[in-house]
Amino acid sequence: MTVAYALDVATSTIFTQIRVLLRWKGSVWKATWIELIIWLIMYFILSVIYRIMLNKWQREVFEKLCTFFDTFSVFIPVTFMLGFYVTIVYNRWSRVFDNVGWIDTSALTIAQYIRGTSERARIIRRNCVRYLIVAQCLVFRDVSPPIRKRFPTLNHLVEAGLLSKEELEEFDSIKSPQSKYWQPIQWLFCLVTQAREEGMIDNYFLYVDLIEKMRDFRTKILNLIIFDMVPIPLVYTQVVNLAVRMYFVLALFGRQFLDEDKNIPGAKFKIDLYFPIMTSLQIIFIIGWHKVSEVMLNPLGEDDEDFETHWIIERNLQVGYAVVDQAYDRCPPIVRDPFWE
């Protein structure tokens, strides 16, 4: 589930920032602590080796190396790359959420256009909702690892009650080398045709509008497949990834405190703090910034910020049935409203 903190920031006061900083789930602390500790351990090992184990000549070489890496680390344009890369990843991420697929519009339209209180009408309305969700499940299985785990085969959909045995047989009876996300939609359209023929839909006008709304739902979830097929080019992800990591590998050397600092040409002034506090901060900022893009690269995965696909399907099922069945044609009495003059 995405980490909601909107209420924390509803008003911008002096404490807003502190409240936001103290969160753990989905936080920069959780995202960076492992890498920070690994880096610190390696830094201290190097530091100890330099201070204790090296002889004078070795120290001189080490010092030159450190100064060299320190000087030339500006060659790696880390912040610049991150600024542009994170913006691109963010835009893609928010487009994914526009296409996640909420049943509400479809369900309300089904309840409004397919009329009738007979059992047959109820069955058709309920199945319409169910088929939409089955299509969504088929798509989610291919783009969202948690749904894949829950429904490794289509039989698991039958077990979960989303599909009947007969439907699975019918599904399997059409052979195709391609994914058949379209098949539940075709069943759905079949149901609509049936409903029209049996007079539950008054008019071809309503019929076309209903098909249109269902198609919208389908187009949206299909977009998820396309987003999945066309990720940010791998080379971009790699370049940014590599630049960030390599920057800190070089910093292992470049940020060491060196005894004879002042005498080494090109070396910057440092003081012997034992703990590399500035670089630790930098790791939190830069790695943290990079993590923003990592958690957003596959928005339907299992990161803290990822969308809980389980919950979406569960919700769609509950809301869908409630709209087309429980609440069908229920309405408060039509009387004067409280403001009536």
Task: Tell me which residues in 63-122 interact with a second copy (CB under 8 A).
Answer: 64-65, 67-69, 71-72, 75-77, 79-81, 83-84, 86-88, 90, 92, 94, 97, 102, 104-105, 107-109, 111-112, 119-120
The Cα 322–Cα 155 span in angstroms is 26
The Cα 225–Cα 12 span in angstroms is 39
Beta carbon of residue 49, minimum distance to a second copy (angstroms, whole number): 19
Closer residue to a second copy in complex, CB, 48/123: 123
Q: Which of 156, 206, 220, 310 binds a second copy (CB under 8 A)?
A: 206
Q: Which of 55, 117, 176, 263 binds a second copy (CB under 8 A)?
A: 176
Q: Output DSSP code: residue 337.
A: -
| Residue 262 near residue 269, CB atoms below 8 Å | yes
Stretch that binds a second copy, among 39-47, 50-58, 284-292 (CB under 8 A): 284-292
| Residue 295 near residue 93, CB atoms below 8 Å | no
Q: What b/e string do you get for 236-267 counting C-beta neighbours within 10 Å, with b at 16 or more?
A: ebeebeebbeebbebbbbbbbebeebeebeeb
Residue 285 interacts with a second copy (CB under 8 A): yes or no: yes
State the amino acid at position 240 in one-letter form. V
Beta carbon of residue 158, minimum distance to a second copy (angstroms, whole number): 9
SS3 content of the chain, % helix, strand, coil (to 5): 70, 0, 30
Stretch that binds a second copy, among 42-50, 51-59, 171-179 (CB under 8 A): 171-179
Closer residue to a second copy in complex, CB, 94/153: 94
Beta carbon of residue 53, minimum distance to a second copy (angstroms, whole number): 21
Beta-carbon neighbour count of residue 183 at 10 Å? 20
Sign of CA dihedral 242, 244, 246, 247: positive
Residue 152 interacts with a second copy (CB under 8 A): yes or no: no
Beta carbon of residue 190, minimum distance to a second copy (angstroms, whole number): 4
Beta carbon of residue 163, minimum distance to a second copy (angstroms, whole number): 8
- Distance linking the first and last C-alpha atoms of the chain: 48
Beta carbon of residue 41, minimum distance to a second copy (angstroms, whole number): 13
Beta carbon of residue 241, minimum distance to a second copy (angstroms, whole number): 5
Q: Which of 40, 59, 99, 145 binds a second copy (CB under 8 A)?
A: 145
Residue 257 interacts with a second copy (CB under 8 A): yes or no: no
277 token code pair:
């506090």
Task: Tell me which residues in 124-143 interact with a second copy (CB under 8 A).
Answer: 124, 126-127, 130, 143
Residue 274 interacts with a second copy (CB under 8 A): yes or no: no
Beta carbon of residue 340, minimum distance to a second copy (angstroms, whole number): 7
94 token code pair:
């928010």
The Cα 183–Cα 193 span in angstroms is 15
| Residue 254 near residue 261, CB atoms below 8 Å | no
Residue 215 interacts with a second copy (CB under 8 A): yes or no: yes
Stretch that binds a second copy, among 39-47, 48-56, 290-298 (CB under 8 A): 290-298
Q: How many residues bind a second copy (CB under 8 A)?
A: 168
Give, for 72, the enclosing helix (H) or strand (E). helix 56-72
Task: Tell me which residues in 293-312 interact with a second copy (CB under 8 A).
Answer: 294-298, 300-305, 307
The Cα 56–Cα 114 span in angstroms is 88
* Short-list 130, 160, 131, 159, CA closest to 317: 130
Task: Tell me which residues in 31-60 interact with a second copy (CB under 8 A).
Answer: 31, 34-35, 38
Beta carbon of residue 226, minimum distance to a second copy (angstroms, whole number): 7
